[in-house]
Homo-oligomer: A and B are copies of this chain.
């Protein structure tokens, strides 16, 4: 895709400073050539501007004072990350497959596929599955009997969407992810464990995006739900009957136990664990690797194992360090 810097400036609401030239893609500052758009979103990268060979560079207005005389055009924007996201979308539009069933697609005659839907080789769509218009089922994915997918969903290679799943529009599921597996509910039957049959659903609202190898368990009864626009990174586990709100952001390898509630706009760092039936309030932020064992109020910032308010956690680390016999030299430089 080729666009001029002025086209981009218009599309991004940016101010173009310097010569208007065509660009065909986005490249990092060090490797960008004269056909490329590049970016300088952080103070620590400003030094690299002087040697930049790109046609133009995205620069947040906040850094303009530091930029000096750049050898290339500048696209001055208010929000660098947002401008980058949009520029990438324009210059590197997502691949769109040719509609229809590829040879080797395994689609049951009893499945209903919307117009413009594509099913790749080795992908399986079972009887009674309903796919909206413009869905893309990638190589080797499985859509179970009775699953319902809204318009424009993209199911990654080897992903599994069980028949108990209801997906809204534009849901994206990463490669190898599993939706609708049996939740982990056990009952004691004398000496042995009896698995409680899981007969509930998984509901993903519009614009939910899941990374590769995520797992979302079906509910025991009722539903496990992820709200509109929520973003999950790779390898996130969502237990049965969990309820994730809208616009929630969950980093890689987090685990939500059964019946956890994550309210709208909360954000979890990587490898966080949340104990069953615990609620994390709207807009709360949970530090990476925290273990959350009790309710987190809306808007709170917590960290630690178990998680408590960030400033208390930091205070406890300082206190611990005071208890450790001091040594001079290199090692102290590594302390948290």
Contact = CB atoms under 8 A, between A and B. Distances in A.
Contacts of A194: 82, 85-86
A293 B316 CA distance: 16
B319 A315 contact: no
Contact of A309 (B104, B157, B334): B334
Contacts of A249: 186, 193
A186 to B, nearest CB: 6
A273 B270 contact: yes
A140 B53 CA distance: 44
B297 A270 contact: no
A328 interface: no
Interface in A76-126: 79, 81-82, 84-86, 88-89, 92, 94, 104, 106, 120-122, 124, 126
A279 interface: no
A199 B26 contact: yes
Contacts of A144: 157
Interface string A228-254: 011101110101000000010101110
A294 interface: yes
Given A221-B26, A291-B289, A324-B315, A106 B85 contact: no
Interface residues of A, number: 112
Interface in A182-204: 182, 184-189, 191-197, 199
A311 interface: yes
B311 A331 contact: yes
A174 interface: yes
A215 interface: yes
A217 B195 CA distance: 24
B217 A234 contact: yes
A300 interface: yes
Given A160-B158, A184-B234, A249-B186, A294 B196 contact: no
A288 interface: yes
11 contacts: A84-B196, A85-B189, A181-B234, A184-B251, A191-B247, A192-B229, A193-B229, A215-B234, A289-B291, A294-B336, A316-B320
Interface of A: 25-28, 31, 79, 81-82, 84-86, 88-89, 92, 94, 104, 106, 120-122, 124, 126, 138-140, 142, 144, 156-158, 160, 162, 174-176, 178, 181-182, 184-189, 191-197, 199, 207, 209, 211-213, 215, 217, 221-222, 229-231, 233-235, 237, 239, 247, 249, 251-253, 255, 257, 270-271, 273, 275, 288-289, 291, 293-297, 300, 302, 305-309, 311-312, 315-317, 319-321, 323-325, 330-331, 333-336
